Homo-oligomer: A and B are copies of this chain.
Amino acid sequence: MATKKEQISRRTQEERRAEAEEALIRSALELISTNGVARTSLAEIGQRAGYSRGLASHYFGSKDSLINQLISHARRKYLQRIRGQRAGTGAEALVMGADEYVKEHYDPNPATPALIVMWGATLPQGANNTEAIAQADESARRIIRKTIAQGQRDGSISKDVDAEGFSVAYLGMLRGIAAQALISPELMKPRKIRAELKRFIGAALSGSAPGC
């Protein structure tokens, strides 16, 4: 049985560690979103976080491992957010979800652009973190497919919609819009994009158009 002192001390050590880890992750996300994965050095991450050059290596073992953790971290945060939102019909969920997604990219939160940047860095076949990103993508598509099934049950989504194909197109669209927002922020007018995006998705969900 640990004495109180030991408990406190251990607690504090753990806290210190958690604090440092959080600072490192935050710093990594910021640097990655501005400089990219390849140009972000572990040393820089440590120093921007207010620690030493070696700490990020020491904690995460390797740069690859750090990136993987950042991806998981971002996915976890994303799922948390999603869960809070679930409301209304399937169609509403998808339309509003897209809207929220785009809206976020005008936030000061560095996690969102950083995820897109890591996603972009993972495109080459031989990339190191393909696995983690592939899982994150598939997990997102799975949620989309489920929401479509739900919408088709509640009547808000047309039976013409193919869940599998749609999930790829929908996810692709969100990522692709976010990417353009990173590349040419000055050209991306949030209002117009968000309005058109909602119309776009709404139309696609309500059935094979030419028929009506």
The total of chain A residues at the interface (CB under 8 A) is 67
Say which residue of B122, B189, B194 sits within 8 Å of A120 (CB atoms): B122
Chain A positions 177 through 209: 1 when the CB is less than 8 Å from some CB of chain B, otherwise 0: 111101110011100111111011011111111
Would you call A87 an interface residue if the criterion is a C-beta within 8 Å of the partner chain's C-beta atoms?
no
Q: Are B203 and A119 in contact (CB under 8 A)?
A: no
Q: Are B122 and A183 in contact (CB under 8 A)?
A: yes
Which chain B residues lie closer than 8 Å to A137 at the CB level?
180, 183-184
A179 with B183, Cβ < 8 A, contacts A35-B126, A196-B162, A209-B206 known: no
Tell me the bound Cα distance from A168 to B200 in angstroms: 11
Q: Are B119 and A200 in contact (CB under 8 A)?
A: no
Which chain B residues lie closer than 8 Å to A160 at the CB level?
199
A208 with B202, Cβ < 8 A, contacts A35-B124, A175-B179 known: yes
Q: Contacting chain B: which of A3-11, A78-86, A127-135?
A: A127-135
Would you call A171 an interface residue if the criterion is a C-beta within 8 Å of the partner chain's C-beta atoms?
yes
- How many Å from the CB of A10 to the closest CB on chain B? 12
Which chain B residues lie closer than 8 Å to A125 at the CB level?
33-35, 182
Q: Are A203 and B199 in contact (CB under 8 A)?
A: no
Would you call A51 an interface residue if the criterion is a C-beta within 8 Å of the partner chain's C-beta atoms?
no
Contacting residues of chain A (1-49) with chain B, CB-CB under 8 angstroms: 32-39
- How many Å from the CB of A134 to the closest CB on chain B? 5
Q: Are B179 and A169 in contact (CB under 8 A)?
A: no
Which chain B residues lie closer than 8 Å to A119 at the CB level?
120, 179
Would you call A50 an interface residue if the criterion is a C-beta within 8 Å of the partner chain's C-beta atoms?
no
Would you call A64 an interface residue if the criterion is a C-beta within 8 Å of the partner chain's C-beta atoms?
no
- How many Å from the CB of A136 to the closest CB on chain B? 10
A203 with B193, Cβ < 8 A, contacts A34-B124, A120-B122 known: no
Tell me the bound Cα distance from A208 to B95 in angstroms: 13
Which chain B residues lie closer than 8 Å to A39 at the CB level?
124, 126
